[in-house]
Structure 1
Amino acid sequence: MTNSSTTSKPTGTGVLARHQAELDAGRFLIQRCGACQRAVYFPRVLCPHCGAEEPALVAPAGTGTVYAATTVRRKPEAGGDYNVCIVELDEGVRLMSRVEGMPPADVRIGLRVRARVVVPAGGSGMVVFDAATGDAA
């Protein structure tokens, strides 16, 4: 029996591998369909809205709003509590992530956030969010 790791990187030249390579380089990209102009995330070969092939990888504004949030409770010796949230980017797509830099219980629906990419030593790049200061809600 093999154990599949959730941190394994896609291999090859497909859209998922290109997307992960961009994250590993510190760049967050979503897709925009050239046919219907709608945003797409998580990257895929066909636009889920109109079926057009290969939506282009583009840089999002990086801002959004917490759409849903929960606090995961853990013992302090296991690292303590953390939050898991769904963020709706201003482009209209949603992704699961976390908000850093504030107590997990303070992450609330409607909180304005800004994306950044973190690349842990020896790990894969991932998108996390920080509370946005000075942005209108």
Structure 2
Amino acid sequence: MADATEQEPLLTPAVDDDGAPFWDYAAQGELRIQACTACGEPRFPPRPCCPHCQSFDSDWRRMSGRGRIWSYVFPHPPLLPAYAEQTGYNAIVVELADAPRIRLVGNLVAAPDAPLNSVAPERLRIGAKVQVAFTELNGFTVPRWILERP
């Protein structure tokens, strides 16, 4: 079986100063979300100023990595030609258990390094509980999602 970098045609994520800590923590196997230290509100995507109180003070809070599928889609046909061999893959939106207003986009897979089409479409449902899993992709550690009860 090919490794994850051969399976996935995406380029590396665009990393800016605000989002760099997200990727640094992911490389350590941690899911962290930026939060305002003035009002306590979590925010994603990361940005310099809190949209709630306009404070520039923030920290990165560790999340449990648990969430639920808030929405999902199966792109047909694949949006990029390089994904054609993985047709049947999903893209999911996960609502974090620790911060329900924060939603992350990713893929539901059978195991961290499994192909994008490793979960049968009929297994996806809104509200299904998921857990973050990390894998290396083109030199970056990226979050993916696995079912809590496979």
Class of the TM-score when normalised by the shorter of the 2 chains: 0.7 to 0.9
Letter in 2 for 1:47: C
- For 1:99, the equivalent position in structure 2 comes to 108
Match of 1:111 among 128, 133, 139: 128
Distance 1:100 1:54 in 2: 35
Please give the per-residue CA displacement for 1:62-108, whole angstroms capped at 9, x wherever unaligned.
Answer: 11111111112468961231000111001121111111112134211
| TM value normalised by structure 1 | 0.78
Aligned equivalents of 1:30, 1:41: Cα separation in 2:
7
Aligned residue number for residue 79 of structure 1: 86
Deviation per CA, 1:16-50: give whole Å up to 9, x if none. Answer: 22222222333221112211112112222111222
Alignment correspondent of 1:133: 149
Identity %: 23
| Aligned-partner residue type, residue 106 of structure 1 | R
- Cα distance, 1:9 vs structure 2: 4.8
1:27 alignment partner in structure 2: 30
1:123 aligns with 2:139: yes
Q: Decide which moves more: 86-95 or 68-77.
A: 68-77
Distance (Å, rounded) in 2 between the aligned partners of 1:129 and 1:56: 24
In the superposition, the TM-score normalised over structure 2's length comes to 0.72
* Residues 31, 64 of structure 2: 8 Å contact kept: no
Give, in whole Å, the separation in 1 of the partners of 2:85 and 2:69.
26
**One-letter amino acid of the counterpart of residue 80, structure 1:** T
Structure 1 residue 115, shift from structure 2 partner: 1.0
Kindly tell me the number of residue pairs found equivalent between the two proteins: 127
**SS across alignment from 2:139:** coil
Q: Where in structure 1 are there 5+ consecutive unaligned residues?
A: none
| Unaligned residue ranges in structure 2 (runs of 5+) | 1-9, 111-118
Q: Give the counterpart letter for 1:111 in structure 2.
A: A
